[in-house]
Amino acid sequence: MDPYEMAMLNFAITWSPFSDADEQIFPEFGISAPAFYSRVLELVMSRRTVLDNEIRTHLRAVCMDKLSKYSRPPTPGRR
């Protein structure tokens, strides 16, 4: 794993308890939040990434949740 990928995993682990970290992803990594979570999910699912099973399971759930929210169309406002 290269230093960029390690930084992504560390960021995801550190910020996963907080809901407002997505705005920091682009300045930190130069990619959109959906691209970030897709990449982290790839890393988490890769056998070459050595992670504790609890952390792997947690990050997988976080990434799947974030990606599902980004793929939903916005809810129209009530009139």
pLDDT at 37: 95
Q: What integer pLDDT is reported at residue 76 of this predicted model?
A: 63
Q: Answer whether residue 73 shows pLDDT above 70.
A: no
The length of the chain in residues reads 79
| Interatomic CA distance for residues 35 and 26, integer angstroms | 10
Domain containing 21 equals 3-71
Total domain count, the chain: 1
Amino acid 3: pLDDT: 95
Q: Is residue 77 part of a domain?
A: no
The dihedral through the CA atoms of 12, 48, 4, 43 has a sign that is negative
For residues 71-75, give the mean pLDDT.
65
Q: Let me know if residue 44 belongs to a domain.
A: yes
- pLDDT score at 18: 82
Q: Supply the pLDDT for residue 75.
A: 59
